[in-house]
Amino acid sequence: MAIRSFFLFILFFSSSISPVFSLYEDQVGLMDWHQQYIGKVKQAVFSSQRAGRKRVVVSTEENVIASLDLRHGEIFWRHLLGADDVIDGIDIGLGKYVITLSSGGSILRSWNLPDGQMVWESSLQGPKHSKSFLLVPTNLKFDKDNLLVVFSNGRLHAISCIDGEVLWKKDFEAESFEVQQVILPPGSDLIHVVGFAALSQFEMYQINAKNGELLKHESASFSSGFSGQVSLVSTETVVALDSTGSILLTISFQDGKISSQQTPISNLVEDSLGPAVIIPSSVSGIFAIKTDAVTIFIRVIGKGNLEVVEKTTHEIAVSDALSISEDQQAFALIQHASSEIHLTVKLAHDWDGNLLKESVKMDRQRGLVHKVFINNYIRTDRSYGFRVLIVMEDHSLLLLQQGEIVWSREDGLASIIDVTTSELPVERDGVSVAKVEHNLFEWLKGHMLKLKGTLMLASPEDMAAIQSMRLKSSEKSKMTRDHNGFRKLLIVLTRAGKLFALHTGDGRIVWSYLLRSLHKSEACQSPIGLNLYQWQVPHHHAMDENPSVLVVSRCGPSSDTSGVLSFVDTYTGKELSSLSLDHAVVQVIPLPYTDSTEQRLHLLIDADKHAHLYPKTSGALSIFKREFSNIYWYSVEDQNGIIKGHALKCKCTGEVADEFCFDTRDLWSVVFPSESEKTIATVTRKLNEVVHTQAKVVADQDVMYKYISRNLLFVATVAPKGSGEIGSVTPEESWLVAYLIDTVTGRILHRVTHHGSQGPVHAVFSENWVVYHYFNLRAHRYEMSVIEIYDQSRADNKDVWKLVLGKHNLTSPISLFSRPEVITKSQSYFFTHSLKAIAVTSTAKGITSKQLLLGTIGDQVLALDKRFLDPRRTVNPTQLEKEEGIIPLTESLPIIPQSYVTHALRVEGLRGIITVPAKLESTTLVFAHGVDLFFTQLAPSRTYDSLTEDFSYALLLITIVALVAAIFVTWRLSERKELQEKWSFYSAFASQSTFSSLHFSDN
Amino acid sequence: MGRVAPHREAPLKVPHKEVPLKVSHREAPMGWKNQELCTLSSCHQLWKLSNLGCYGTHRTVTFARASLNCTHDFIRVWGWVHHQWSSEDPQGLGTKGFALPGKTSNVKVILNGGQIVTYLRPDGYFLFQNIPAGTHLIEVAAIGYFFSPVRVDVSARNPGKVQAALTENRRGLSELVLEPLRDEQYYEIREPFSIMSVVKSPMGLMVGFMLVVVFLMPKLVENMDPEEMRRAQEEMRNQGVPSLASLLPGGGRN
């Protein structure tokens, strides 16, 4: 009975907190932070409006178009286009519309420059795939309407700038014609389209811009052929390279006549250089070619006479031309010199004179300058000033003006590849203790203010003071470890190969490091970062050591290129060492063992299925040898639909004796029939997940044992036809199969088929359950299913004695032939939204109930209690089940707006959600990343183990004072009462005794 | 975009420049051959079926000539998002310091879980081009509003025929006008100060309990039968349980 009432109590509490995560509006920013990024800038266009705020419109590699404030670098507005909608070009039309060409030149959109509202959208089709160009001529008018000229998909379009209507179009249907440039000579109504045909033919089309009429078509053949791009040196001259890359062809097509001149590069430069490429630029009269080591600037004089103006071995970046007056063009040039960059602005026709020459100190961690965009302004003395926007190797964006960095944006953080966390240093004597609570009076005053706030007595000024006080609380951004484990470092690896450490308190960058091992080099052509692992996590005896992370990267996109390891200290952000491996890295397996210096053992599997042990120390080797027969792993071959289990065999039998290299053997393999199943998702449990209890007490005092194994793998396969987009198959020809596979024995523990369902599948595995999200074609809704797996072999162990002495799953032999006694329970529910990511909260001890974190298509993160995904839910739960907290079964999962973790914010382009346990059991840290970053703390069962942030100490004090006062008052009262009682007792006694004596006398 | 949606009788207002050439049903019967639709005159035309549109304008027509087949290469699903944005929202969303971003420029319309993402025009229209025949899903992502996904069936046999239904409540749509099912309030509303909230708080309960003990207990004791009371007192005396008064300082003196 006592237990039942306890359950009732729990139920009372749990039912009263159904939207567990909920936030008041004034609590925004207390525990969470949100950062907005745009990604690496591809193209930038400066808004030339004289009045109003200065803006720059950029398009990025993350498919973002954004309008930035030129003074501070803040985002005015931003749009993230779809993943396949890659931006080909942007420009500003009529001074108030941003025009974007995307999806390989097939979608043209116009956006309102001040507020980012889309104005129109046009679809441009064409006969074949081609390069695409977007040109916004300033002088081409058509019935008071400005024209846009777009070349895409083998077709030239003239489009109205006001409403996006196609005014005329012209096909270039010749099979082999490859467009290279579309030229609009200023002051004429002509459009020149130049390109190559059949590898050695140069073609020039002259088109009337008013109506798309073909005026002229000339062609000339060049026996030596062409390679790469062409550079436009004037409106009637282009420069191209022949197919060997050693002869420059200067082709001019003045008045529709093609004439050309060939100049071998060796004539211009004495020493032979090897094949060159043309760097595309739009500066008139000058072009640049680049060989492996040298960049050469060449000037075109008159009709095809070439002259070298500069030859440099420095890394160099050139901007496009900026016309500053009728006949003058300026361009910017940036050269690197150790810790500085030199910016020069030159006039196009005058190479030797510099309009501007500045040197700017540049953080080495930003790497090289990748792109330069130039803009001018008129100074107060009516001379020209120049500002340049530069894009660095680490994808950051900086504005330089007057020799200084005006602002910078860390846009590398828009493309995070992997995330891990690191503890902060322990607070020592040297580190000062919190300075917030410097004096008791201030502290009390603060709390009095808060109390006023909760009692709704505060004035607006007070409210503002409270808000700023809460947000400022420097406690949360201190650089030391805290008692609750809320303060940590988030170590993130970005696509640019840069590591950042972000403080969880306020999201600031503590350090950043551009990995030197990820620089391009002879041996490593296109290095890419892959993963981050915790390499050294010191606790106990190695407290003085700094923790470090392992960055695994690879020299090329294919998995058989050799790998690179780097080890980075997470406190200082310095690279401790780096290793260029002589083998590939296909798989990295962090082992649950550490050596004497607390370095974690990692097993790297290469392309030839050899296992390599790191760190390469004898201590690690001896630990590894002890556990040699206990190491199993699996691999998934997506193309063949095979999942294989592996174990170690013996030392490498190669020609080189390497005691850290091991041969492996295949233990088992699961082959999915390729004609009916295609693997689309595999998920395992997180390695560091903690499970508090294996037993689960169900309503009728029964015990169920969770089947908890680290070696469970969830695999989802779909019919090969159904692996495409939604709507590409009918329900009859599509199915989805979910498997639970033991990765040590290869046994399939559970298999379930969802007929008429389709991917994409998003799944998360935790404890003994897996939740997955997929599309149900019959109902045409998304569905989420849960599978829970229980150990049946221990089901008889009902009481304590049996639990201690009874059957144990450790004693059963592990073999493919022993059938584990498991039962599974599953249930499916409808869910409204598409998902982009799914995660589950994790806490320090695993006691706190779990919440699923769903990254929805709207780029929000929704917290959903795991109790909603409980296979034991029934439509009418019995009284016992209700007491246990089972929610009546509903067809679909509820979406409670208050349980959006991201509240009214969007994590634009959401890609991943990471949860990290805090030290406080009730709390978990959540980090969601995409183009934006978002961080918050979650308490899935409320903070039952600590006072909440808005706990009012003043109210507590007042209560205590009131209680003490009450005690004294009541003591006085009781004393008085006692005295009175005594008097009345005596008087009553006296009167009674007289009364009784009278009574007796009566008798 | 501050205006409240226009009247319901004209939600299919055709976007500018695509002024329909009146094609009556006599001229364009149900069995109208799609090739005819494609090769018809170059002027704008609109073919409506049960108010759900697939359009052929002169832009798409020329394209169709190139591909010689317009069955589903150029089907456009277009619709209109009905919105009541915050500036005129009677509930006053976003009137407090933290404005909910409620502009049409932040509304995305997503086809098939991200296959195509498009934005709204100022008048609330959206358009998906080149949709193959089949069953598709349109979702609207707008902060502050809950939109049900919409199932859209683009018929393969009957080009231009499009059917739509909300997946949340399985309601069919006669016209592709998407309306939010409800507003989404992401924040808890702070309850105004009330005595009850103080009483319900742990400290309120503590104080309440004390008050009960202090003021109600003596009453209870008073209401007891004096005989019983005396017996109880005697028992207490026998057991030597100290009374409350004797516990308090100075209570010892009787």
Contact at CB, B66 and A775, closer than 8 angstroms: no
What residues in A contact B201, CB-CB < 8 Å? 955
Give the per-residue pLDDT at B42: 26
Residues 68-97, chain B: which have Cβ within 8 Å of A?
96-97
Beta bridge partners of A662: A611, A651
Same domain for A767 and A713: yes
Distance from CA of A913 to the nearest CA of B (A): 18
pLDDT in tens, A899-936: 899 988 899 999 999 999 998 888 999 999 999 999 99
Q: Is A274 left (phi over 0), alpha (psi -120 to 50) or beta?
A: left
Residues in A touching B192 (Cβ below 8 Å): 456
Is A841 found in the same domain as A795?
no
**CA-based nearest residue to A714, from A686, A691, A755:** A686
**What is the pLDDT confidence band of residue B104, given thresholds at 50, 70 and 90?**
low
Query: Based on the domain organization, do A822 and A797 belong to the same domain?
Result: yes
Q: What does the DSSP 8-state code read for residue A415? A: S
**Cβ pair A85:B130 closer than 8 A:** no
Interchain contact B14–A (C-beta under 8 A): no
Q: Is the pLDDT of residue B11 over 80?
A: no
Q: What is the mean pLDDT of residues B120-142?
A: 81
Distance CA A835, CA A830 (A): 13
Number of domains composing chain A: 3
Sign, CA torsion B119/B124/B129/B134: positive
Domain check: are A796 and A887 in the same one?
no
Partner residue facing B187 (CB), from A24, A83, A836 = A24
The residues in B 26-55 lying below 8 A from A, measured between CB atoms, are: none
B149 and A781 in contact by Cβ < 8 A?
Answer: yes
pLDDT at A433 over 80: no
CB-closest option in B98, B151, B244 to A25: B98
Mutate to test the interface with B, among A21, A145, A468, A780 (most CBs of B within 10 A): A780
From chain B, the residues in CB contact with A122 under 8 A are 59
pLDDT grade, residue A737 (50/70/90)?
very high
Instruction: Check whether residue A687 and residue A826 sit in a common domain.
Output: yes
Query: Is the N-terminal amide bond of A820 cis, ω within 30° of 0?
Result: no
- What pLDDT, on a 0 to 100 scale, did the predictor assign at position A143? 64
Percentage of residues in chain A having pLDDT higher than 70: 88
Task: Extract the runs of DSSP E, i.e. beta strands, from A585-631.
Answer: 587-594, 600-605, 610-614
Distance between CA A126 and CA A268 in Å, rounded? 42
Do residues A493 and A529 lie in contact, with contact meaning Cβ atoms separated by under 8 Å? Answer: yes
Q: Is there a contact between A858 and B143 if contact means CB atoms under 8 Å apart?
A: yes
Judge contact between A275 and A245, C-beta under 8 A.
Answer: yes
Asked if B129 and A859 come within 8 Å (Cβ–Cβ), the reply is: no
Residue A928 within any structural domain of the chain: yes
Find the range with the poorest average confidence among A566-570, A833-837, B123-127.
B123-127
**Order of strands, edge to edge, in the sheet holding A632-637?**
A587-594, A600-605, A610-614, A661-671, A642-651, A632-637
| CA nearest to B63 within chain A | A125
What's the gap in Å between the CA of A686 and the closest CA on chain B? 27
> How many C-beta atoms surround the C-beta of residue B218 within 10 A?
14
Domain that holds residue A736: 673-804+818-831
Is A833–B184 a contact, with Cβ atoms under 8 angstroms apart? no
In this structure, are residues A67 and A76 in contact, taking their beta carbons and an 8 Å threshold?
A: yes
Q: Mind telling me how many Å the CA of A58 is from chain B's nearest CA?
A: 17
Distance CA A569, CA A548 (A): 4
CB A252 within 8 A of CB A237: yes
Q: Which residue has the higher pLDDT, A917 or B95?
A: A917
pLDDT digits (tens, 9 = 90+) for A512-552: 998 877 677 767 777 888 889 988 887 765 567 788 999 99
Q: For residue A985, give the DSSP letter.
A: H
Among A484, A487, A488, A479, which residue's Cα sits nearest to residue A432? A479
- In angstroms, the separation between the Cα of residue B3 and the nearest Cα of chain A is 15
Task: Confirm whether A601 is domain-assigned.
Answer: no
A462 inside domain: no
pLDDT of residue A812: 57
Question: What is the spatial order of strands in the sheet that A498-503 belongs to?
Answer: A416-423, A488-494, A498-503, A509-514
Are A850 and A701 members of one domain?
no
B203 → closest Cβ in A24, A82, A959: A959
Q: Among A153-162, A685-694, A875-884, A944-953, where is mean pLDDT lowest?
A: A944-953
A182's tokens: 């579309």
Per residue in A686-722, pLDDT (tens digit) is: 888 888 888 888 777 778 888 888 889 999 999 888 8
The tens digit of pLDDT for each residue in B162-193 reads 778 888 888 887 777 777 888 888 888 877 66
Q: How far apart are CA A947 and CA A465, in angstroms?
A: 22
**Span A855-862, average pLDDT:** 92
Q: How confident is the model over A572-582, as a mean pLDDT?
A: 86
Whether B104 and A127 lie within 8 Å, measured CB to CB: no
For residue A860, what is the nearest residue in chain B, using CA coordinates? B143
In 3D, which of A165, A802, A902 has the Cα closest to residue B58?
Answer: A165
Domain presence at residue A516: no
**Residue owning tokens 């556990």:** A627
CA-CA distances (angstroms) from residue A655 to A614, A649, A651, A658, A691?
20, 17, 12, 9, 45
Collect all residues with Cβ–Cβ distance below 8 Å to A811 and sequence separation of at least 6: none
Q: Tell me how many residue pairs between chain A and chain B have CB atoms under 8 A apart.
A: 175
Minimal-distance CA residue of chain B relative to A127: B66
pLDDT in tens, A592-615: 888 888 888 999 998 888 888 988
Question: What stretch of H or E contains A740?
Answer: strand A735-742
Interface contact flag, B114 A457, Cβ < 8 Å = no
Span A421-437, average pLDDT = 62
Q: Is residue A885 part of a domain?
A: yes
* Sequence spans of domains, chain B: 107-183, 195-232
Same structural domain, A766 and A847 = no
Average pLDDT value for residue range A377-397: 87
Please report, rounded to a whole number, the percentage of residues in chain B having pLDDT higher than 90: 0
Q: Note whether A824 and A685 are same-domain residues.
A: yes
Contact A117 B104 (CB under 8 A): yes
Under a CB-based contact definition with an 8 Å cutoff, are residues A575 and A515 in contact?
A: yes
Res. A657 pLDDT band, cuts 50 70 90: low
CB contact (8 A) between residue B105 and residue A117: yes
Four-residue CA torsion sign, A402, A408, A411, A417: positive
Q: What percent of chain B has pLDDT over 70?
A: 50
Averaging pLDDT over each range in A540-549, A961-970, A993-1002, which range is the top one?
Answer: A961-970
Q: What is the DSSP string of A335-347?
A: EEETTEEEEEEEE
Task: Please indicate, yes or no, whether residues A798 and A741 belong to a single structural domain of this protein.
Answer: yes
Q: Across residues B44-51, what is the average pLDDT?
A: 29
pLDDT of amino acid A931: 93
Is residue A931 within 8 Å of A80, Cβ to Cβ? yes
Is the CB of B64 inside 8 Å of chain A's CB atoms?
no
Shared domain for A872 and A788, answered yes or no, is no
pLDDT in tens, A66-124: 999 988 889 999 999 988 889 999 998 888 889 999 988 888 999 988 888 888 888 88
Residues of A in contact with B149 (CB under 8 A): 781-782, 832-834
With cut-offs at 50, 70 and 90, classify the pLDDT of residue A267.
confident
Confidence (pLDDT) at A50: 65
Inter-residue contact A716 to A783 (CB < 8 Å): no
* Per-residue pLDDT at B81: 63
* pLDDT of A30: 80
Tokens standing for A61? 């590699």
Name the β-bridge partners of A641. Answer: none
Q: What residues of chain A lie within 8 A of the CB of B112, using their CB?
A: 725-727
CB contact under 8 A, B206 and A85: no
Share of chain A above pLDDT 90, in %: 22
Using CA coordinates, name the residue in chain A closest to B102: A904
Residue of A nearest to B194 (CA): A455
Average pLDDT over chain A, rounded to an integer: 83
Q: In the predicted model, is pLDDT for residue B250 greater than 60?
A: no
Both A731 and A876 in a single domain? no
Strands B177-178 and B77-81: parallel
Q: Which residue of B has its CA nearest to A894?
A: B168
Looking at the structure, tell me whether residues A912 and A861 fall in a common domain: yes
Cα gap B197→B218, rounded to integer Å: 28
Q: Note whether B16 contacts A163, CB cutoff 8 Å.
A: yes
**Contact (CB<8Å) A81/B101:** no
What mean pLDDT do residues A773-781 have? 90
b/e for A345-355, b at 16 or more Cβ within 10 A? bbbbeebeeeb
A793 has pLDDT over 80: no
Distance in angstroms (rounded) separating the CA atoms of residues A605 and A624:
15
